[in-house]
Structure 1
Amino acid sequence: MKFLIGIAGLIVFLALAWVASSAKNRVKYRPVIVMIVLQFVLGYVLLNTGVGNYLVGGFAKGFGYLLQYAGEGVNFVFGGLVNVNESTFFMNVLLPIVFISALIGILQYWKILPFIIKYLGLALSKVNGMGKLESFNAVASAILGQSEVFISLKKQLGGLSKQRLYTLCASAMSTVSMSIVGSYMMMLKPEYVVTALVLNLFGGFIIASIINPYEVTEEDDVAETVEGEKQSFFEMLGEYIMDGFKVAIVVAAMLIGFVAIIAMINGIFNAVLGISFQQLLGYVFAPFAFLMGIPWNEAVNAGSIMATKMVSNEFVAMQSLAQGHFGFSGRTEAIVSVFLVSFANFSSIGIIAGAVKGLNEKQGNVVARFGLKLLYGATLVSFLSATVVGLIY
């Protein structure tokens, strides 16, 4: 039965993308089918094989060491506060972003990350039916982040069509940056985080290929990115450290605001309707959770967490899941966890539009106009990745 429901869900989510397509007769189905097959193969390897467990274990172990090293710096500044359980989220989950950001800066400075991005992007461009620039941007987004990635494309932004710009922004919203992957692993199981990273990379292309099909000519397909002004090693290091700190502070501020607002709205809904706002959203999202492969008796609570992610952000939703109050089965936990690993939420519309507008005001306005369609597509990517997990787990 789970296979029938999962396949039905897969068809529904792809159909929802097709309904929103800007050019239904131009959709290239062969690359879409190839990438869906790749999702199933890679997802199965990562979750169900010894090789996948070894790779995920190595990845998680590496981030475990990085988080330990980050803890040394945090502990030096905050001392015994790090060991107080009630005060650990900001210090143990968010502040390590500062160290990971610094490490990314070092790898960028030594040209290691540009090398990885270039050749992974080249390999992706062979299977996704899109341009080299779109493929490079997707890999770069998964490493650098949804706003930082556009800096390397600033000289090309002005000449991009609306269609290409949509795909670039969709990739940025569908993936997550490496600087916060460690933070996710503090709340979710590493195998789910790694699987989501891989599935979302292909899922972003699948949904964008259906919603936003277009042709790229050879002369327009320039994949070279530009670098900023040359800095010394320590100038670069200081800049990345401060960028990481800003991210940690911004996420902390958003969590304070969103958690407080959701608590207030829950209180109002409970007083007036006898049901919390999150529970109400859970009923709205429950049919989608069911189509992803979650049993109906868990679908409402799962839908509540999924909706929380979309209206606030993934950290708030991950905290709700990590608290373990819902008693989800292992399979439901896997499906919901994979759904949560992306930047697909309302606040990301403003972040991405603002990042592009800061580099090119005209294109920033274009992004703002298709912001809701961007969120729609990125949310379908999350549905698609989670449905694949529901079928193979």
Structure 2
Amino acid sequence: MKYIISIIGLLIVIGLALLASNNRKKVNYKPIILMIVIQIVLAALLLNTKFGLVLIKGIAEIFTKLLEYAGEGISFVFGGIANKGEAPFFLNVLLPIVFISVLIGIFQYLRILPLIMKGIGLLLSKINGMGKLESYNAVASAMVGQSEVFITVKKQLNHLPPHRLYTLCASAMSTVSMSIVGAYMTMIEPKYVVTALVINLFGGFIISSIINPYKVDSDEDILEIQEEKQSFFEMLGEYILDGFKVAIIVGAMLIGFVALIAAINNVFDLIFGISFQQILGYIFSPVAFIMGIPWADAVKAGGIMATKLVTNEFVAMIDLTKIQSSFSSRTIGIISVFLVSFANFSSIGIIAGAVKGLSEKQGNTVARFGLKLLYGATLVSILSAIIVSFVL
């Protein structure tokens, strides 16, 4: 029965993407089917095999060690602020982003990261039937983040038509940056974070290929990576500050969103006898159900999904940790994979602002298709959750 629901869910997601398609006749289904098969194989490999278990355990241990190193710096600066035995969210979850950001900067400076991103991007372009630039951008988004990625392709930005720009922005919103992965792993199981990272990459291409189908001519598909010339210590200073800015911004957004949701829930509870999140849960429960979540868990899961969409993934992950004991392991796996992406309303402004900082004209173009961008990225999250439901 679970496979039937997952297949129906898969068809519904493809149907919803076709509804928003610019040109249904141009959709090339061959690479789409191939990428769906690859997603299922990769999800099964990561979640259901000894190899996957060893790989994820290794990645989790690396991030655990990195968080320990980050903890040394945090303890030196903030030691004594926290009560013994307590684990403040800002100190233990957000501030390690600073150290991981520094590591990304070092790998970028040593030209290791650009080489990996370009290599994987070229390989992906052979599978997805899209341009080299689009494939590189998807990998780069997962490495350096949804804002920073546009700096690496700023030479091409002004020359990109709206349809190619949409695909670049869709990839940025559908993935998550490596600097934040460690923070996610403190709230949800590492195996679901790693699985989501991998299959979201293909999910972004699948949904973009349906909503925004096009073919790139070889003479238009020149891949040049913009690299800023800096000294080593200039780079260190920049990435340290960038990491701290991300931590502060996420922290500020959490304060605002968590407080706002608490206030709205209280008002709805007083007036209607039901919280705002419960109402959203009922609205999103059919989506949760087609993702393979049992109907008994669908309303609560739907509330978490809606919270992620209207606030951000951090708020939703915090909510999940509070009620996950009432969920089955299958539900936790599916909802965890759904949460690992930047698909929320605030990301529209973040991406449009990042592009506008490099090209005002293109930034305005992104703002115009912002809602369609969020629609596509949300479908990517739903698709990834459905793919995982096949193997759990």
TM bucket normalised to smaller: over 0.9
The match for 2:170 is 170
Distance, in Å, in 2 between the alignment partners of 1:112 and 1:188 is 29
Per-residue deviation, 1:365: 0.3
Show the counterpart of 1:30.
Answer: 30
CA drift at 1:268: 1.1
Aligned-residue RMSD, C-alpha = 0.9
3-state SS, counterpart of residue 215 of structure 2: coil
Cα distance in structure 2, aligned partners of 1:54 and 1:86: 31
> Match of 2:68?
68
1:190-211 per-position Cα deviation (integer Å, ceiling 9, x unaligned) = 0000000001000000000000
The share of aligned pairs that are identical, in percent, is 68
Letter in 1 for 2:256: G
Quickly say closer, same or farther: Cα 1:241–1:146, change in 2 above 3 A.
same
SS in structure 2 of the partner of residue 275 of structure 1:
coil
C-alpha distance in 2 between matches for 1:179 and 1:143: 8
Other structure's SS at 2:331 match: helix
Give secondary structure in 1 for the equivalent of 2:153.
helix
**Could you tell me how far apart the structure 1 residues matched to 2:6 and 2:111 are?**
42
Matching residue of 1:344: 343
Which residue pairs with 1:224 in the alignment?
A: 224
Size of the aligned set, in residue pairs, is 392
**Which whole-Å CA distance do the structure 1 matches of 2:179 and 2:324 have between them?**
28
Deviation at 1:223, TM superposition (A): 1.2
- How far, CA to CA, are the matches of 2:8 and 2:83 in structure 1? 47
Cα deviation, residue 80, structure 1 = 3.0
Q: Tell whether the 8 Å contact from 1:82 to 1:92 is kept in structure 2 after alignment.
A: no
1:334 aligns with 2:344: no
Determine the structure 1 residue equivalent to 2:157: 157
Normalised TM-score (structure 1): 0.98
Change (3 A) 1:114 1:187: same
Q: Deviations over 1:53-103 (max 9, x none)?
A: 111111111111000000000011111335645551000000000000001
Answer whether contact 2:304 2:316 (CA < 8 A) is retained: yes
| Aligned-partner residue type, residue 294 of structure 2 | P
How do 1:74-89 and structure 2 match up within 5 A?
A: 74-82=74-82, 84=84, 86=86, 88-89=88-89
Distance 1:120 1:11 in 2: 29
* Deviation (angstroms), 1:324: 3.2
Aligned to 1:311: 310
State the alpha-carbon separation in 1 of the partners of residues 310 and 85 from structure 2.
28
Contact 1:279 1:304 in 2 (8 A): yes
TM-score, with length taken from structure 2? 0.99
**Equivalent in the alignment of 1:235:** 234
Asked whether 1:271 is paired with 2:270, we answer: yes
| Counterpart amino acid of residue 257 in structure 2 | F
Contact 2:324 2:332 in 1 (8 A): no
Q: Shift in Å at residue 322 of structure 1? A: 1.4
Deviations 1:260-288 (A, max 9, x none): 11111111111111111100000000000
Query: Which residue type is aligned with residue 172 of structure 1?
Result: A
| Shift in alpha-carbon separation, 1:311–1:86, aligned structure 2, 3 A | farther
SS at match of 2:292: coil
Alignment check: 8 A CA contact 2:334 2:386 kept = yes
Instruction: Note if contact 2:46-2:195 (Cα within 8 Å) is conserved in structure 1.
Output: yes
Instruction: Tell me the distance in 2 between the aligned counterparts of 1:114 and 1:152.
Output: 9
Distance 2:10 2:299 in 1: 20
- For 2:55, the equivalent position in structure 1 comes to 55
String of CA shifts for 1:118-165, please: whole Å, max 9, x gaps: 111011011000000000000000000000000111111000010000
Q: Tell me the amino acid that sits aligned with residue 135 of structure 2.
A: S
Partner-residue secondary structure (3-state), 2:192:
helix
Equivalent residue for 1:374? 373
Counterpart amino acid of residue 121 in structure 1: G
**2:301–2:335 contact (8 Å) kept in structure 1:** yes
The letter for the 2-side match of 1:76 is: F
Q: Distance in 1 between matches of 2:86 and 2:308?
A: 23
- 1:392 maps to a residue whose letter is V
* 1:97 matches 2:97: yes
Can you give the 5+ residue segments of structure 1 that lack an aligned partner in the other structure?
none
